[in-house]
Amino acid sequence: MPLAIENRIESRVAEMLRQSELISRLGYKNISRGLRSLARLSAGDLDGYPGLIPKLPSALQVDPE
């Protein structure tokens, strides 16, 4: 069963941008590394990427709530 955060990220990516653009908005220079980090975060590794989580709302252009 997909996690809520995974569904939210995927729906916004599909709506507004390619994943590589999202990775750039999150501050990654290395797109491959950013994609791996985003995949792990989406899979539920919330503790492994604490600096990434606060950047998501702005990168996805959504309300932080």
**pLDDT tier for residue 55 given thresholds of 50, 70 and 90:** very high
Query: Which pLDDT value is given to residue 8?
Result: 82
**pLDDT tier for residue 61 given thresholds of 50, 70 and 90:** confident
Contacts (Cβ under 8 Å, ≥6 apart) of 17 = 25
Average pLDDT rounded to a whole number, residues 34-43 = 90
The residue with greater pLDDT, 8 or 28, is: 28
| C-alpha–C-alpha distance, residues 38 and 46, integer Å | 10
Q: Please name the residue ranges forming H helices in 1-65.
A: 4-16, 19-25, 31-42, 56-60
Q: Where are the domains of the chain?
A: 4-60
User: Do 53 and 46 contact (CB within 8 A), yes or no?
Assistant: yes
Average pLDDT rounded to a whole number, residues 28-56 = 90
Would you state the structure tokens that stand for residue 36, as one six-digit string? 């791996």
Checking if the pLDDT of 16 tops 80, the result is no
